[in-house]
Structures are given as C-alpha cells and as structure tokens.
Amino acid sequence: MAKRPNRGGAPLDPAGPCPCGTGQPYASCCGRLHRGEAEAATAEALMRSRFSAFAVGDTAYLLRSWHPSTRPARLRLDPGQRWTRLDILDTERGGLFDSTGTVAFRAHYRQAGRPGTLTEHSRFTRDDGRWTYLDALPD
C-alpha cells in the first residue's frame, strides 16, 4: 500500500499509527472508513475518522461524512495547516443504539511553525444506520 501525503506534505505510512489517536494502524483504523470499506459505528468513531481525514487531506471523505443539510458544496483545506493530535473531551449519546450524539474535542495543529488548537462541541446524527457530522454547537 502506498504512503499518502498528509496536510503537512509528509508521507503517512498506512501501517503507522492512525492520526485519530487510537494507537491502531491507519490502514485498519480510519483508513478503512476513508476507503469506504466500513462505516463509523459511533459518533465518536466518526469524529475520529473526520479528524484523520483532515490530517491526511481527504476532502472527499469529509464531504461524504457531512450531513446533506449542512454540507458545503466544496471544501478547501489549508495546505499550510498540519493536524497533529486529537483529544476527545466528552461524548453524549452517539452509541450503537442512538440516532443523535455529540462529541466535544480539542484538535491540535501546527501552522507556520506555530502550535494551535481548535476546540469544538460537534453534533452528529445517524440516518439509515450511517453517522454523519451535522454541525458545531455554539459556545
């Protein structure tokens, strides 16, 4: 399997650790979701896979995993921003038997050599057994 470039331009080894932070290899963790071989089982799993999609620059997956009612027509990622770590702060619902859920997280990145963080409380919904990102809750 070929290495994929991430947003920072460095290659991502599919056998290396997944950017989402589970410690599993990317190919068998979020890579399966990005390739369409599996669906996220929970809202948190979708959140992790979306973070990894930002980290590897997979805009097609980000758009596919976005709810149609809030999905933008196009998505352009900043090539100078490299997503480095994800911390899950809290989850509410979003389990195997839920149809909605929220995930609070802190995503770490580097831009122009400087560290930064994005903190968000995201809403997810499950329709026909498939989780999608809906939007961010206001602060």
Residue 50's pLDDT band (boundaries 50, 70, 90)? very high
Q: How far is CA 111 from CA 7, 93, 97, 105, in A?
A: 10, 33, 39, 19
Question: Is residue 42 pLDDT above 80, yes or no?
Answer: yes
Residue 9: which pLDDT band, with cuts at 50, 70 and 90? Answer: very low
Check pLDDT > 60 for residue 139.
yes
The CATH number of the structural domain formed by 4-136 is 3.10.450.50
Summarize pLDDT for 53-74 with one digit per residue, the tens. 999 999 999 999 999 999 999 9
> Whole-number mean pLDDT of the chain?
92
**pTM of this structure:** 0.91
Distance, CA of 105 to chain centre: 11
Residue at token pair 């329709």: 127
- Cα–Cα distance for residue pair 132/113, rounded to 1 Å: 32
What pLDDT, on a 0 to 100 scale, did the predictor assign at position 4? 42
Torsion-angle region of 112 (φ positive above 0: left; ψ -120 to 50: alpha; else: beta): left
Q: What is the pLDDT of residue 8?
A: 42
pLDDT at position 67: 98
**Band of pLDDT at residue 19, cut at 50, 70 and 90:** very high
Structural contact between residues 52 and 46, judged by C-beta atoms closer than 8 angstroms = no
User: What span, in angstroms and rounded, lies between the C-alpha atoms of 13 and 78?
Assistant: 21
Q: What is the pLDDT of residue 11?
A: 52
Instruction: Compute the radius of gyration of the chain from its Cα atoms.
Output: 14
pLDDT band at 12 (very low <50, low <70, confident <90, very high): low
15 falls in which pLDDT band (50, 70, 90)?
confident
Q: Where are the domains of the chain?
A: 4-136
